[in-house]
Chains A and B, each alone.
Chain A
Amino acid sequence: MTVIKQHFQQALANIRSSKLRSFLAMLGILVGTAAVVALISIGELATHKALQQFKALGTDLLAISLFQTSTTTKNTSDAKVFSLPEANLMSDTIPTIKAIAPYISLYGNINYETHKINGSIAGVVAELQPVIKIKLSKGRFISPLDRASYYCVVGHDIAQDMKRFSYKSIVGNQILLGNTYFTVVGVAEKWQENTFFNQNVNRLVMIPILTSKVIRKNAQIHNIIMRIKPNINITHLTNDIKAFVSLHSPFLQVFPRSAKQIIESMKQSSQIFTLLLGFIGGISLLVGGIGVMNVMIASVAERHREIGIRMAIGANRKDIQLLFLTESIILALLGGILGVILGISTSLIISYFVGWGYKIFWIPPIIGFGVSAATGVFFGYYPAYRASRLDPIQTLRYD
């Protein structure tokens, strides 16, 4: 124990006595560790952020897009489109579908009290509310009883804009969509954005799906989002859906997107991403390790005399080896500690500017720290071994 403590003190003294050189050796490890920690942290943060949206909605979602195949006739009336009753029939026919919400994305000007508001319009059904979990702060959502009436529900950000332009209560007031006035019946709360639903609900005005034709004459259902029973085979379900659609609308092709599949592929690509980043960081660590080895070999060469003296007064080879190994481990660990700090602060700064909201992941620092220590041992071993094999007579004789 005394010997280790002594080695530790002497290694520190030695590192301090050649500050610049030690710092340069450390720098390699520092940059390497910082790269590993920062890159992996950022990768994890990005994945975390991407997965967060699904946490809010749950994973039992399936979205399908319906489009005409390019080989069929032009967009004319003979191409049979998918209608609302058919969607409901599909839901009734396929038992694994719990709720079905077809919607139509519409684009038109939104005006309120003569002010233009940025946003989009969608024709929706009542089921959309539970399926993508929209909460209302005021009023009610679109109901089946609305049929083709001129009612609408506005998203959170749209409501904020409306408040700026008028003191009137939003619910019960009228908003101009395209050329038609709609009465606002509900206001949605802030909604967690989700790539799964094609629109951002916060900037969306939702109208009854049957009213869609008022905004755009040839409005058709191209998107359906549905909540499905948990733990079912997605492939079977999509096959059922494809069979149903081809029976009713033979010219439409089904493009399914399941939340589970998206998460899977997201996780997979993020794993590859993380691995790649780790690999890049690993290369810089390797270079750093070689720097440590270089400095240690120089240090051993410079201290031949010291090694001889220590051997003469009773140090055995193991003692000498430990002395130099301690030094390289301290170098690597110092670099590792500083690197972890730098890496965490880098990822913190980046996540701040990207606006991700920070969360410290403990795995990358632990990996960075462990790997830098291992680098110290690995790249310190050879110089230390060489030191321990020196012949005391040779080292004492020559200056």
Chain B
Amino acid sequence: MIELRDIVKSYQMGEATQTVLHGVSLDIYKNDLLAIMGASGSGKSTLMNIIGLLDRPNSGSYHLHGREVSTLQNVELAQLRNETIGFVFQQFFLLPRLTAEQNVGLPLTYRQMSQREIKPLVMAMLDRVGMADRAHHRPSELSGGQQQRVAIARALIGKPALILADEPTGALDTKTGDEVMELFLNLNRDENTTVVIITHDPDIAKQCRRCIHISDGNILNDGD
């Protein structure tokens, strides 16, 4: 589904150029459950940003569903993000002024769907993550685990081909972290959603079917 070839990404730091990714190649298949591991500064966040179409590589090719996407316009990238990728962040990143329901529905509003079309989909999705009774709460009125469930519902609402989770359990205690992981595993198993989890926690990585390590901008091993 995703085919990364020789991805190089470097940043200009004043005079010096710092290369963060040195020609990374990676395939992500449909229905994959992949963990990307690495210490902080290893380039895993950059890799995630590139996979998530938030950033462009300096060189190399990125095929998504067989289409070269590293050269697309911003508008097209925004649309692709909206339709094919669901983000889950460590800090949840819900909009504080919107209710759980409004947060979950947000991706669909960018598809020009009407509120009437959106509402039943959102309620069904909240129900699935066990948050239906909190639909009208704002993020500040929810616990960390509950916020992450809402965030996952937001990632799933657009039926994305790929869920991209950046340290999704990093800000949660073990028990709620396990519950969130359980949600991802179920999604992958029951709905064939492709899930990529970026983590530095080996316990999380162990639960994934496939795990790659990244260090200093290179993939060390692709332990299938």
A2 and B113 in contact (CB under 8 A), knowing A314-B81, A314-B83?
yes
B93 touches A311 (CB 8 A): no
Among B63-71, B72-80, B184-192, which stretch is in contact with chain A? B72-80
Q: B12-54 toward A: CB 8 Å interface, digit per residue (1/0)?
A: 0000000000000000000000000000000001000100101
Does residue A305 face the partner (Cβ distance < 8 Å to B)? yes
Among B102-110, B171-179, B203-211, which stretch is in contact with chain A? B102-110
Q: B148-163 toward A: CB 8 Å interface, digit per residue (1/0)?
A: 0000001000100000
Does residue B55 face the partner (Cβ distance < 8 Å to A)? yes
Contacts of A311 in B (CB 8 A): 54, 78, 81
Chain A contributes a number of interface residues (CB within 8 A of B) equal to 27
> Within the complex, what minimum Cβ distance (angstroms) separates B219 from chain A?
21
> Within the complex, what minimum Cβ distance (angstroms) separates A310 from chain B?
7
Interface residues on B, range: 20 to 34
A1 to B45 CA separation, bound complex (whole angstroms): 35
A313 and B83 in contact (CB under 8 A), knowing A3-B112, A305-B93, A396-B93?
no
Does residue B114 face the partner (Cβ distance < 8 Å to A)? yes
Contacts of B52 in A (CB 8 A): 312
The residue on A at minimum CB distance from B114 is A2
Q: Is the interface of A mostly helix, strand, loop or mixed?
A: helix
The residue on B at minimum CB distance from A311 is B78
A1 to B54 CA separation, bound complex (whole angstroms): 26
The residue on A at minimum CB distance from B108 is A2
Does residue B115 face the partner (Cβ distance < 8 Å to A)? yes
A396 to B81 CA separation, bound complex (whole angstroms): 15
The residue on B at minimum CB distance from A314 is B82
A13 and B97 in contact (CB under 8 A), knowing A3-B110, A314-B83, A396-B89?
yes
Give the residues from 82 to 101 in chain B that come closer than 8 angstroms, CB to CB, to chain A. 82-83, 87, 89, 93-95, 97-98
A10 touches B97 (CB 8 A): yes
Kindly identify which residue among A306, A316, A392 contacts B54, using a CB–CB cutoff of 8 Å. A392
A10 to B97 CA separation, bound complex (whole angstroms): 8
B95 touches A312 (CB 8 A): no
The residue on B at minimum CB distance from A305 is B93
Contacts of A397 in B (CB 8 A): 45
The residue on B at minimum CB distance from A318 is B75
Which residue numbers of B lie inside 8 Å of A, CB to CB? 45, 49, 52, 54-55, 74-75, 78-79, 81-83, 87, 89, 93-95, 97-98, 106-107, 109-115, 154, 158
Q: Mind listing 19 A-B residue pairs with CB under 8 Å? A: A2-B113, A3-B109, A6-B109, A305-B93, A309-B94, A309-B95, A311-B54, A313-B158, A314-B83, A315-B78, A316-B74, A316-B110, A317-B74, A317-B75, A317-B78, A392-B54, A393-B55, A396-B54, A396-B89
